[in-house]
């Protein structure tokens, strides 16, 4: 009989949490029991999994008893507080926050890129930042053929990166503007509807924000290239749930557009979207709800004979967060890296 696992979702009522719930069902993950965990404010809500209504519980000291796998998407401070407790209870934690990503003892995994690193986990595996995931899925197939020397990235990031409330804020602000009223920002510091602004995470002394430094540091760790030259400019744009990125790649020697296109056509997790006659390339509206990263507009950098330009769009909630986490879980199952507990099944499932 196939092995199945007792799973908990920490942050179950958030945008990524509800997507995790859907993906576990859609991808037929071997769930023996499911526990939905969130803050006391969200406790008592009901969510549906495979036709069954499950009640959300407030996370507490006993929440991880009998749990084999925790999918966490509840913010860095919450992960720091609860992930070690889950590991101590015998679970493997796949964490979507930034809490453990740069910890040398914690694998930072994108299954299409560095699946081999998952085996080194000591109870926690980190899910990379959404912008990093989307970029490395597109860049790694080329990097594997000819190592990238430098990356210059510009991102166009949707409201979903700041959660469900941010998505609703864009809708509310759009209606206000269309009705001749002033948009009121709450989640974001400035109105995002019909507007854009550099990413609002904290700036360092060099003028780079946290989001940009995540792309720099996480990409180096995932690719195993600590000296990779990389710079990024991250921008919030009035799109609901899919990020886009303009990527400039520099190699040690010329990389033909035809070869790059052929490689990306066959790459896992990538869908080539190019129609040069109609000027049709990846767009957030097409990427929303899709598992693949849409890549296109592959062209020679006219300023650099060793440079290539790429454009991509990818669903921030899906591949940028929930899907990548579930794929890591599937990888753990495939490699027998989760040890099911022998305690009683989770109540309510």
Structure token pair of residue 141: 């197939």
118-150 b/e with 16+ CB inside 10 Å = b? Answer: beebebbbbbbbbbbbbbbbbbbbbbeebebbe
CA–CA gap between residue 198 and residue 11 (Å, rounded): 27
Phi and psi (nearest 5°) for 267? -75, 140
Q: How far is C-alpha 22 from the chain's CA centre?
A: 16
Cα–Cα distance for residue pair 234/237, rounded to 1 Å = 10
C-beta neighbour count of 348 within 10 angstroms: 13
Half-sphere exposure of residue 197, counting CA atoms within 13 Å on the CB side?
A: 11
Q: From CA 285, how far away is CA 239, in angstroms rounded?
A: 9
Do 327 and 318 touch, CB atoms closer than 8 A?
A: no
Which of 33, 30, 34 shows the shortest CA–CA distance to 1?
A: 30
Please pick, among 121, 143, 199, 243, the residue that the annotation labels catalytic.
Answer: 243
Distance of CA 128 to the CA centre of its chain: 6
Please give the order of strands across the beta sheet that includes 31-38: 57-58, 31-38, 5-10, 69-72, 92-95, 124-126
Q: Quote the tokens at residue 288.
A: 């929303």
Cβ–Cβ < 8 Å for 65, 95: no
For Cα atoms 315, 118, 341, give the angle at the middle one, nearest 5 degrees. Answer: 105
Catalytic residue among 121, 130, 143, 199: 130
Is 243 one of the catalytic residues? yes
Backbone angles phi, psi at 24, to 5 degrees: -60, -40
- Is 130 catalytic? The answer is yes
Q: What angle do CA 325, 329, 331 make, to 5 degrees?
A: 115
- What are the catalytic residues? 130, 243
């Amino acid at each position: 009989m196939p092995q199945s696992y007792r799973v908990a979702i920490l942050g179950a009522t958030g945008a990524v949490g509800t997507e995790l719930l859907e993906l576990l069902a859609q991808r037929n993950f071997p769930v023996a029991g499911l526990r939905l965990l969130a803050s006391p404010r969200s406790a008592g809500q009901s969510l549906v999994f495979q036709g069954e209504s499950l009640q959300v519980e407030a996370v507490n000291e006993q929440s991880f008893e009998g749990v084999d796998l925790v999918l966490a998407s509840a913010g860095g401070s919450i992960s720091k507080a609860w992930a070690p407790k889950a590991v101590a209870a015998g679970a493997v934690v796949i964490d979507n926050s930034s809490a453990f990503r740069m910890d040398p003892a914690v694998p930072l995994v994108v299954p299409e890129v560095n699946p081999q690193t998952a085996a080194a986990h000591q109870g926690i595996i980190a899910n990379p930042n959404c912008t990093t995931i989307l970029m490395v899925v597109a860049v790694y197939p080329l990097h594997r053929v000819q190592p990238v020397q430098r990356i210059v990235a510009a991102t166009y990031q949707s409201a979903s990166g700041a959660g469900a409330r941010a998505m609703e804020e864009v809708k509310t602000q759009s209606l206000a503007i269309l009705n001749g009223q002033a948009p009121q920002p709450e989640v974001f510091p400035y109105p995002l509807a019909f507007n854009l602004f550099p990413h609002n995470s904290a700036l360092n002394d060099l003028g780079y924000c946290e989001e940009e430094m995540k792309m720099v540091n996480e990409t180096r760790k995932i690719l195993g290239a600590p000296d990779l030259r990389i710079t990024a400019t991250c921008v919030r744009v009035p799109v609901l749930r899919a990020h886009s990125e303009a990527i400039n790649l520099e190699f040690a020697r010329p990389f033909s557009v035809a070869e790059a296109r052929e490689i990306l056509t066959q790459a896992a997790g990538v869908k080539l979207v190019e129609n040069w006659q109609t000027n049709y390339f990846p767009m957030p509206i097409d990427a929303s709800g899709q598992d693949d990263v849409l890549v296109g507009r592959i062209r020679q950098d006219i300023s650099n004979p060793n440079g290539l330009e790429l454009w991509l769009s990818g669903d921030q909630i899906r591949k940028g967060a929930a899907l990548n986490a579930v794929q890591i879980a599937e990888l753990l199952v495939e490699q027998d890296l989760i040890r099911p507990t022998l305690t009683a099944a989770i109540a309510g499932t």
